[in-house]
A and B are shown apart, each in its own frame.
Chain A
Amino acid sequence: MKPTRMNKTTALQALTSAALAIPGLAAAEVQTEYLYAHYQEADLPASKGVGQSSERYEINSHRFRLTSPLGEATAALNLTLESMSGASPWYIMPDANGKLTQIMSGASISEERADVEATLAYPVGDVQVAVSLGYSKEDDYEAVNGGAEFEHTPEGQAYSFSGGIGYSYDRLEPTVGRSSLDVIRKADRDSLNVYGGVSFILGPQTVLQTSLGYALGDGYLSDPYKRAYIQSQTDHIPDNRPGERSSWTASARLRHYVAPLGAALHADYRYYDDEWEVTAHTLDIAWHQTFADTWRLTPSLRYYSQSQAYFYAPFYQNVRADGLASSDYRLSPYGALSLRLDLRKAIGAWELGGGIERYEASADYALESVKVENPGLVEYLALSFKLAYRF
């Protein structure tokens, strides 16, 4: 008998938690999770907003997840149910002194969103592969998406490669504002995204992942519920964005275990750049502190800053020559700061937890100085509750 060598799911599985982005690969057990989140946007102060209703969005989300081993593979099923209500920014009107007023959408929108996603992860030789399919449905919006990801750790090495490709087909059919002639009836878009990365073990307590991503959106990329004010016409026109948007991201994720304190430090950074001239920086720092073995407290801080899209303006003097228009706060220049605190407690096979997040967007937080702040910038509070069980 000849000595044999076998190389299978070594580092990958032993290191799943440290080296992998594909979820659930190490799950040798059936696991269920439930997450409830309540999201509440702060109402605009009277000085900024007018409209029949300035009560902003409130969302209740229920997320369920089931992970199970299936022979050599691992299957995961995700279900999301959300109910949303509230008014959203419609357009911005300047007064005689140039002071901006956010006009909110008239009717308070109330709708539901359901989203299902199934993922199957399995080994192909010594590469772990995961494929996923998803479907999302709202009154006025429908999306089908699919994707594939892989992860590979060369034998005996301290680094892993990972990558993925995803596609989504989205169709929208606005329900509000149908009476207006200039509001679209139906539209659709395709989105494609790819990423590739390498993670390195830098030390017995440190891992770093660096990656590059590319995304392309093609089709109707405007917001049918938003409009832009044209001063010379004293009227507003539909939000109108280019039909194509390609973007690049460069990201780094660092994990460092601080052994003397029994805590893990997470530092994530992402640089974003797109065809609409938006550049953005995101820095997310989290401290995962374990105590008494079964408790974990995680304070985290997220900083975000973006520049504006080239065609964005809070309002326009005249219609642009290229016809583009958007006063959406999401394309405006601003920065955002988010503070979070999450607590988890394991009791046998159960895990229980809760968390709070406060997010505030402001022109003052932007990296570059902002001349005019969009009055519709969002501020929200999100509370979450989590329950998980491992069979």
Chain B
Amino acid sequence: MKQLITASGMLLLLALTGCVPVKAWERGDLARPEMAFEPDPMLAGYRRHVEFSKEAASGGPVLSGGGCGCN
């Protein structure tokens, strides 16, 4: 049930953003540094490492490096 709610929430957000074909010269906002999937790879990498060592789940659209003896 909760998964369903999460999924519908995502879809709603999607639908609200609308969709218009975007011309090459109209992509200025998309090219802004804060619009990157990872605007700060170093900080994101640090946080991923901490979460990886404290939680059961890991992975996603990134390569996982080596593990660690983190306790």
Tell me if chains A and B make direct contact, with any CB pair below 8 A: yes
**Residues of chain B from 17 to 71 with CB closer than 8 A to chain A in the complex:** 17-22, 24, 26-27, 29-43, 45-47, 50-51, 54-71
A88 within 8 A of B: yes
A23-B41 contact in complex given A117-B65, A172-B69, A203-B22, C-beta closer than 8 Å: yes
Complex formed: what's the CA distance from A148 to B71 in Å? 29
Max count, chain B CB within 10 A of own CB: residue among A57, A117, A207: A207
- A15 contacts B30, C-beta separation under 8 Å: yes
Interface pick from A46-54, A263-271, A315-323 = A263-271
Closest to A209 in B: B37
Cβ of A141 under 8 Å from chain B: yes
The answer to whether A166 and B64 touch (CB under 8 A), given A255-B35, A257-B30, A304-B55, is: yes
A328 to B: closest C-beta gap in Å: 9
Q: Is A103 an interface residue (CB 8 A)?
A: no
Nearest Cβ on chain B to A40's Cβ, whole angstroms: 12
Tell me if A282 and B64 are in contact (CB < 8 A): no
Interchain CA distance A276-B70 in the complex, whole Å? 20
The count of chain A contact residues (Cβ–Cβ below 8 Å) is 116
Residues from 18 to 54 in A contacting B, C-beta threshold 8 Å = 18-21, 23-24, 33, 35, 37, 39
List the one stretch of A91-99, A131-139, A178-186 in contact with chain B. A131-139
Partner of B31, one of A15, A170, A197, A384: A15
Could you tell me how many residues of chain B have their Cβ less than 8 Å away from some Cβ of chain A? 53
Assess whether A207 is in contact with B35, with CB atoms less than 8 Å apart: yes
By DSSP majority rule, is chain B's interface helix, strand, loop, or mixed?
Answer: loop
Q: Which residue of chain A is the closest to B23 with respect to CB atoms?
A: A204
A205 to B31, CA, bound (A): 10
A135 to B68, CA, bound (A): 11
Find out whether the CB atom of B63 lies under 8 angstroms from the CB atom of A166: yes
Tell me which residues across on chain B come within 8 A of A306, comparing CB atoms: 55-57
**How far is the CB of B42 from the nearest CB of chain A, in Å?**
5
Question: Does A222 sit at the interface, judged by CB under 8 A?
Answer: no
Q: What are 18 A-B contacts defined by CB distance under 8 Å?
A: A10-B24, A17-B31, A20-B36, A21-B37, A24-B41, A33-B42, A63-B45, A134-B65, A143-B66, A162-B61, A168-B66, A201-B27, A215-B58, A215-B64, A247-B59, A267-B10, A280-B56, A357-B47
